[in-house]
Amino acid sequence: MSPGAPDLTAELLSGLDDLDRPPPPPSRSAMLRRRLPPVLTARGREGRWRRDRARRVLAALLVAVAAGVVVEQIRPHPAPVGDLVVVAARDVTAGTRLADGDVRLERRPVGQHPVTALTTTADVVGRVAAGTVDAGEVWTPGRLAGPGLLAGTTGRVAVAVPLPTDPGTVGVVAGGTVDLLATGTGAVLADHALVLSLPRTGGDDALGGGPTWSVVLAVTPAQAGAVAGALGATSGGPPLLVVHGP
């Protein structure tokens, strides 16, 4: 065997070993090129032109997306309409000590809630309901028992007036104002009286009695005397309420 024969044999064996090895994996760029449409991978002037055009279109799309994000961030958002007020989250009966689950904040249009509406739940939670309050009704100081009933009034006393029907049917709300007229004569017993609360007492329907209503008003001492005189009269019926608009 000639001196160069072993080297040749080794090269042949090495070549056979190379054939047994798996081919190296393609590079990432090669894999990406395979996924591109042929029009973008073509060689020559047309291929370069198509790739340049694709780059410009992609750049324009990215700029448009970025501009949209910036505009959305700096665009002024409209302010919420109305005021946040505290409303009853469920029906509440008179004498109930109010908990967190009894109240919630709700936005109401300006002019569609009492001017004395409470605006934080802390003003209501822990207080006692002065009368029955239905879910969704606005909490005002007049709907709460305790020293707050005459809060904000000067030289006024509270007087309770029984009513033959539900005052809510004629638009009487706590925090609103009413005139109180004597039935029969029409004499004004109290004008622009502030409605403090609207107590409602449940009757026994089995005995033929239904709920009874009353309204608690903030009036002057002189007006309170006139109301007491009208209530003590044996004829004429209960006083009439004339509701003032908001």
Residue 161 pLDDT exceeds 70: yes
Angle at 17 between CA 15 and CA 20, to 5 degrees: 115
Please compute the mean of the pLDDT values over residues 46-52 and round it to a whole number. 71
Question: CA 137, CA 87: separation in Å to the nearest integer?
Answer: 5
Backbone angles phi, psi at 141, to 5 degrees: -55, -30
Q: Tell me what pLDDT residue 31 has.
A: 65
Q: Tell me what pLDDT residue 207 has.
A: 44
Q: Tell me what pLDDT residue 100 has.
A: 92
Residue 6 CB neighbour total at 10 angstroms:
10
Q: Tell me what pLDDT residue 205 has.
A: 44
Q: Tell me what pLDDT residue 104 has.
A: 94
Residue 113 pLDDT exceeds 90: no
Question: CA 224, CA 239: separation in Å to the nearest integer?
Answer: 13
Judge whether 175 and 117 are in contact, CB under 8 Å.
Answer: yes
Q: Tell me what pLDDT residue 37 has.
A: 64
Question: CA 205, CA 211: separation in Å to the nearest integer?
Answer: 8
Name the band, by pLDDT with cuts 50, 70 and 90, for residue 120: very high
Please compute the mean of the pLDDT values over residues 158-180 and round it to a whole number. 83
CA atoms within 13 A on the CB side of 31: 5
